[in-house]
Amino acid sequence: MNFKSSECIDFLYLYYMTFEEYLASKKIDSIAFKKAEKELWTKFEFLFDQMHPKSFTMQKLNLINGIRRKYPLKEIVEKKEVKPKTKRPIIRPKI
């Protein structure tokens, strides 16, 4: 079988993703979700381990959106370096 390198990386990444990593990728705080709704978290973890992450997302999309609103992941804001903009020359059409 011939795989493109991006397909291999995608394949390996998706099949080794843990449920906690999946929740983080969906911007859900796994710890808060697990503390508040342990039974639902455990059920979702079991289902997630049985199927592909994309299939899990398609099946649970409406529930995931509600959970994301209840337990948002608090992201650390990283400061990005601002590059000074250079002025570009104005190009006018020749008429």
Q: What does the DSSP assignment read for 29-77?
A: -HHHHHHH-HHHHHHHHHHHHHS-HHHHHHHHHHHHHHHHHHSB--PPP
Q: Which domain holds residue 45?
A: 5-70
Q: Would 93 be classed as within a structural domain?
A: no
Q: Would 34 be classed as within a structural domain?
A: yes
10 has a pLDDT exceeding 60: no
**Cβ neighbours for 45, distance < 8 A, ≥ 6 positions apart:** 19
60 has a pLDDT exceeding 70: yes
Number of domains forming the structure of the chain? 1
The percent of residues above 70 in pLDDT, for the chain, comes to 74
Q: Would 79 be classed as within a structural domain?
A: no
42 has a pLDDT exceeding 90: yes
Q: Would 16 be classed as within a structural domain?
A: yes
The mean pLDDT value for 69-73 works out to 92
Instruction: Scan for tokens 């059409």, then name that residue.
Output: 93
Angle in degrees, CA 47, 50, 53, rounded to 5: 80
In this structure, are residues 57 and 64 in contact, taking their beta carbons and an 8 Å threshold? yes
